C-alpha cells in the first residue's frame, strides 16, 4: 500500500505549489498536444469502411475479418500476447479467441487507437511507411494505381493482413486467393469478390463515381473507419495539457512528473501521439515462435541494419491501461511489470519467466531463451538508463498516471461489474497506531487472529501476484474457527490529499468456514515447514538446509496440497482458467504468516456502514525473526465509482479527526516469501 513518510509528505506539500509549473515546462519541452482529428472525415467512406471492417469476404476462406483481431469491445486488439490468425475460432470479445487450426504468430495485434491521417509508420517493425503523398514503402511494392488512392499509411497497412497466409489469406491449396501467383493478383481476386455484391457496387460508385474500383479503394475505406471510429482521447491528461489544471489529481500529477522527469519516458513518448516514429531495443524478452529460428530480430528485418537489432516501434500510450498485455509480443501483463522492467532492464530480462500459458492456445508459448540476454543488453537503445532507481511510491504514482490519467473518460466512468467490497489500507508507524487506538477506545471490539498466506507455484515462480487482477489466498484462524479467504482485486482508485495517498480497492471476496480437522492439518504442516526453514536460515542467509529436512518440508507442502484441494472454493476454477492449469494441477505453496491483534468498530456514513479495523501484526521477517507492524483498514460494501470521492472524503475526514499527520504513516510489511521461494526452487528445481 502506498503510504508516504513525513519527509515525502513535506516534499509533496511544496510540490502542490509548484508542480503545475514544472509540468508546464514538460508540456513545452516535449511538445505535448491533445489529439486533433478534424481534417478529412468523409461520412460515406466511414460507413463503407465500417461494413468492410466486419466482412469476412476479405479473407481467403471467408472465416476471419479485421474485427476478430482488432475488436472494438476489447479496445481494438485481441487481448492476447501473440495473435492467432486464419483458422482460429471466435473473437476475444465473446468468451475468448481460441487457436484451433490457426497459426501462432510472432507478435501481437497492436491496438488501432488514435490513428491519424498523418501516421507515417505502421506495424511493430515499421515495414509500411508513408514517404509522401502517393508514395509508400511497403513489403510488396505498390503500383501507382493503388498508391495514388491511399491518403495514409493506415490505409497502406490495411492491404497486407489480407494477403498474409497466416493472418487472412489462408494456406495454399485452401482457396483461389491463397493460390494466387502474387499479392497483386490476390488483391484483384478479393476486389472482384467484394464488387460482385450489388450493395458494395452502389456504395463505392457513390463515393468514387466513374472510377475503376480496386483494392486501394477498399483499404482507404477501412482506414477512414479505423482513424475516426477509434479516437478515444478525452483523457484527464488531454484536459490538463489544454489548461485545466484540476483535470489530474495529485497522484496523477506526481506520476506525470516522474514520467517526464526521473523516468525519462518523454525521450520516446512525446508530441501529439505520445510517441515518436522511432524504433528502440528496450530489452524485451523473446517469447513464442518468433520470426525466424525461434527469435524476432525486429526492425532489422526491414532495414538490414544491425543497429536495428531487436528494435520495435514505440507505441502511443493513450488508453494504455486497456490494451494489456504489453510489448510487441505481450511478454508483460501489467503496467507495473513494464515499469519494473524499465527500472532495471538487466535484472528484468535475466530473471524473466513466462508464468501464464494462456488458455487460448493449443500449443504452449515458448518461454524466453536466456542465451540471447547478453546481446540484447549489449544493443540496448542509448536513450535508456541501466537503472532508474524508482521508489515504491514513485512506481505506484507512475502506474496511476498511466492507468487513469491517460484513459478516456468514458472508460473511467464505467462501473465495475459484479459484487465486491471496497476497502482502504494504510500502513502506520506506532505513533499513528497509538492515536487511533485511543480514538477507538470506546465501542471497539478486540480480537486476535493468525493469518496463513498461500500462493501458486508455477514454472518456478509465484503465479497469483503476476495476474492482471492479483489474487490472495488466506486461511484465518481465530476463536471462532478457521476460514479460507479468496480475495481478488477487481479495480482500484487512487487519490491524494495533503501528501497522503489513498487507494480504494474493489475486491471480490469468498469466505469458507473450514472443518476443524482440515484446518488443523494444514496449519500443523504450515507451522512445521516454517519452523524447519528458519531453524537453518541465519540472518546472513548462508546456512544450507539439510537434504533430510528438505524432504520433510516437501512432504509438508504436498500434504497441504492434498488438503487444500478438498476446500470447496468456487474460485479455484477461475484461477485455473486464468493460468491455463487444470484445477487438480494447481499447486498451492505457503509464503508467510502473521498474527494480528485488532480493534474494530463500525461507524455509520452517508454511503453505508464503514468498518474500521486497527491492526498490530507480528510478522516473520526474511531471516526468521519477528517484526511488529501497524495498519488501519477501512472496509465497506460495494462503493460505486460515482460515489468513490465521497467514500475517500469520509476516510480523510476520519484521519484528520484522529489527528494523524504525515509522520504517523509509513513502515512496511516484511514477508519471507523470498526465503520460501528459494527453498521451493531447491525442492522443485
Give CA–CA dist 477/519, Å, rounded: 9
Q: Is the fold of 6-33+234-405 the same as that of 418-683?
A: no
Identify the bridge partners of residue 638 per DSSP, sorted by sequence position. none
Question: Higher-confidence residue: 598 or 500?
Answer: 598
Provide the H-helix boundaries in 247-333.
250-260, 300-303
Question: pLDDT band at residue 685, thresholds of 50, 70 and 90?
Answer: confident
Residue 668 corresponds to which cell in the numbers above? 512496511
Residue 315 corresponds to which cell in the numbers above? 507505441
DSSP state of 103: P
φ, ψ for residue 424, nearest 5 deg: -130, 140
Residue 4 has pLDDT above 50, yes or no: no
Number of H helices, E strands in the chain: 21, 14
CATH number of 43-70+112-229: 1.10.760.10
Q: In the prediction, which pLDDT does 94 show?
A: 60
The 3-class SS string of 114-137 reads CCCCCCCEECCCCCEEEEECCEEE
Cα 677 from chain centre: 24
Per the CB < 8 A criterion, the answer to whether 222 and 190 are in contact is: no
Domain locations in the chain as residue ranges: 6-33+234-405, 43-70+112-229, 418-683
| Distances in whole angstroms, Cα of residue 141 to Cα of each of 192, 299, 409 | 21, 18, 41
Residue 362 has pLDDT above 80, yes or no: yes
Residue 640 has pLDDT above 80, yes or no: yes
DSSP run (H or E) holding 48: helix 43-53
Question: What are 239-297's pLDDT values in tens digits?
Answer: 999 999 999 999 999 999 999 999 999 999 999 999 999 999 999 999 999 999 999 99
Residue 223 corresponds to which cell in the numbers above? 482506414
Question: What are 81-95's pLDDT values in tens digits?
Answer: 999 989 998 877 666
**Helix, strand, coil distribution of the chain in percent, nearest 5:** 40, 20, 40
Please report the beta strands in 220-343, taking only residues with DSSP state E, as ranges in sequence order: 279-280, 312-313
CATH among 1.10.287.610, 2.40.320.10, 3.40.50.2300, 3.40.50.2000 for 418-683? 2.40.320.10
Question: pLDDT band at residue 115, thresholds of 50, 70 and 90?
Answer: very high
Question: What are 169-206's pLDDT values in tens digits?
Answer: 999 999 999 999 999 999 999 999 999 999 999 999 99
Question: What are 415-452's pLDDT values in tens digits?
Answer: 998 899 999 999 999 999 999 999 888 889 999 999 99
Question: What are 455-484's pLDDT values in tens digits?
Answer: 999 878 888 887 778 899 999 999 999 999
> To the nearest 10°, the Cα dihedral for 197, 199, 200, 205?
120
Residues 6 or more apart in contact with residue 146 via CB below 8 angstroms: 159, 187, 214, 215, 216
Residue 526 has pLDDT above 50, yes or no: yes
| Distances in whole angstroms, Cα of residue 529 to Cα of each of 8, 539, 552, 555, 681 | 39, 18, 8, 9, 15
Name the CATH superfamily, with its identifier, for domain 6-33+234-405. Cytochrome c-like domain (1.10.760.10)
Antiparallel, parallel or unpaired: β 500-513 and 421-428: antiparallel
Residues 6 or more apart in contact with residue 411 via CB below 8 angstroms: 232, 319, 322
Amino acid at each position: 500500500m502506498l503510504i508516504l513518510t513525513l519527509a515525502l509528505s513535506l516534499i509533496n506539500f511544496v510540490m502542490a505549489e509548484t508542480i503545475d509549473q514544472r509540468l508546464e515546462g514538460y508540456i513545452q519541452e516535449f511538445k505535448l498536444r491533445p489529439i486533433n482529428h478534424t481534417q478529412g472525415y468523409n461520412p460515406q467512406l466511414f460507413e463503407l469502411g465500417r461494413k468492410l471492417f466486419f466482412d469476412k469476404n476479405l479473407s481467403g476462406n471467408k472465416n476471419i475479418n479485421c474485427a476478430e483481431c482488432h475488436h472494438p469491445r476489447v479496445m481494438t486488439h485481441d487481448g492476447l500476447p501473440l495473435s492467432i490468425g486464419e483458422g482460429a475460432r471466435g473473437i476475444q470479445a465473446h468468451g475468448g479467441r481460441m487457436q484451433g487450426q490457426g497459426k501462432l504468430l510472432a507478435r501481437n495485434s497492436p491496438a488501432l487507437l488514435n490513428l491519424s491521417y498523418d501516421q507515417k509508420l505502421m506495424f511493430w517493425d515499421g515495414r509500411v511507411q508513408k514517404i509522401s503523398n502517393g508514395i509508400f514503402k511497403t513489403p510488396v511494392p505498390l503500383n501507382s494505381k493503388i498508391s495514388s488512392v491511399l491518403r495514409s499509411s493506415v490505409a497502406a497497412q490495411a492491404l497486407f493482413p489480407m494477403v498474409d497466409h497466416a493472418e487472412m489469406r489462408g494456406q495454399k491449396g485452401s482457396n483461389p486467393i491463397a493460390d494466387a501467383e502474387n499479392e497483386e493478383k490476390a488483391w484483384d481476386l478479393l476486389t472482384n469478390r467484394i464488387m460482385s455484391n450489388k450493395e458494395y457496387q452502389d456504395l463505392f460508385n457513390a463515393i468514387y463515381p466513374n472510377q475503376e474500383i480496386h483494392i486501394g479503394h477498399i483499404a482507404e475505406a477501412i482506414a477512414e473507419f479505423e482513424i475516426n471510429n477509434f479516437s478515444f482521447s478525452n483523457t484527464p491528461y488531454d484536459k490538463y495539457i489544454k489548461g485545466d489544471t484540476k483535470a489530474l489529481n495529485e497522484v496523477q500529477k506526481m506520476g506525470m512528473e516522474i514520467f517526464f522527469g526521473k523516468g525519462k519516458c518523454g525521450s520516446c513518448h512525446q508530441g501529439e501521439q505520445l510517441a515518436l516514429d522511432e524504433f528502440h531495443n528496450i530489452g524485451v524478452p523473446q517469447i513464442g515462435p518468433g520470426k525466424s529460428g525461434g527469435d524476432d530480430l525486429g526492425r532489422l528485418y526491414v532495414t538490414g541494419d544491425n543497429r536495428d537489432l531487436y528494435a520495435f516501434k514505440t507505441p502511443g500510450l493513450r488508453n494504455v491501461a486497456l490494451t494489456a498485455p504489453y510489448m510487441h509480443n505481450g511478454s508483460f501483463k501489467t503496467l507495473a511489470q513494464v515499469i519494473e522492467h524499465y527500472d532495471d532492464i538487466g535484472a528484468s530480462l535475466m530473471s524473466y519467466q513466462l508464468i501464464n500459458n494462456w488458455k487460448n492456445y493449443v500449443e504452449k508459448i515458448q518461454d524466453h531463451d536466456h542465451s540471447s540476454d547478453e546481446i540484447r543488453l549489449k544493443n540496448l537503445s542509448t536513450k535508456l538508463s541501466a537503472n532508474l532507481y524508482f521508489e515504491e511510491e514513485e512506481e505506484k504514482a507512475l502506474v496511476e498516471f498511466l492507468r487513469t490519467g491517460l484513459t478516456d473518460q468514458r472508460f473511467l466512468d464505467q462501473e465495475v461489474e459484479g459484487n465486491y467490497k471496497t476497502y482502504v489500507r494504510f500502513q502506520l508507524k506506532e505513533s499513528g497506531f497509538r492515536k487511533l487506538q485511543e480514538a477507538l477506545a470506546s465501542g471497539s471490539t478486540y480480537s486476535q487472529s493468525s493469518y496463513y498466506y498461500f500462493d501458486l507455484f508455477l514454472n518456478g515462480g509465484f503465479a497469483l501476484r503476476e495476474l492482471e487482477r492479483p489474487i490472495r489466498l488466506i486461511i484465518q484462524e481465530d476463536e471462532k474457527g478457521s476460514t479460507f479467504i479468496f480475495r481478488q482485486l477487481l479495480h482500484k482508485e487512487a487519490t491524494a490529499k495533503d501528501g497522503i495517498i489513498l487507494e480504494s480497492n474493489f475486491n471480490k471476496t469468498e469466505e469458507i468456514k473450514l472443518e476443524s480437522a482440515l484446518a488443523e492439518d494444514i496449519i500443523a504442516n504450515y507451522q512445521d515447514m516454517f519452523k524447519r526453514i528458519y531453524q537453518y536460515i541465519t540472518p546472513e542467509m548462508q546456512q544450507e538446509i539439510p537434504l533430510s529436512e528438505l524432504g520433510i518440508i516437501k512432504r509438508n507442502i504436498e500434504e497441504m496440497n492434498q488438503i487444500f484441494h478438498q476446500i470447496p472454493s468456487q474460485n479455484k476454477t477461475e484461477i485455473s482458467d486464468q493460468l491455463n492449469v487444470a484445477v487438480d494441477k494447481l499447486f498451492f505453496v505457503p509464503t508467510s504468516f502473521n498474527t494480528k491483534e485488532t480493534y474494530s468498530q463500525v461507524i455509520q456514513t452517508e454511503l453505508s456502514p464503514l468498518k474500521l479495523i486497527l491492526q498490530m501484526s507480528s510478522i516473520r521477517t526474511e531471516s526468521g525473526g519477528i517484526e511488529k507492524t501497524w495498519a488501519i483498514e477501512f472496509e465497506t460494501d460495494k462503493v460505486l465509482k460515482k460515489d468513490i470521492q465521497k467514500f475517500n472524503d469520509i476516510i480523510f475526514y476520519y484521519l484528520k479527526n484522529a489527528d494523524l499527520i504525515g509522520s504517523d504513516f509509513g513502515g512496511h510489511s516484511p514477508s519471507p516469501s523470498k526465503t520460501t521461494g528459494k527453498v521451493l526452487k531447491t525442492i522443485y528445481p
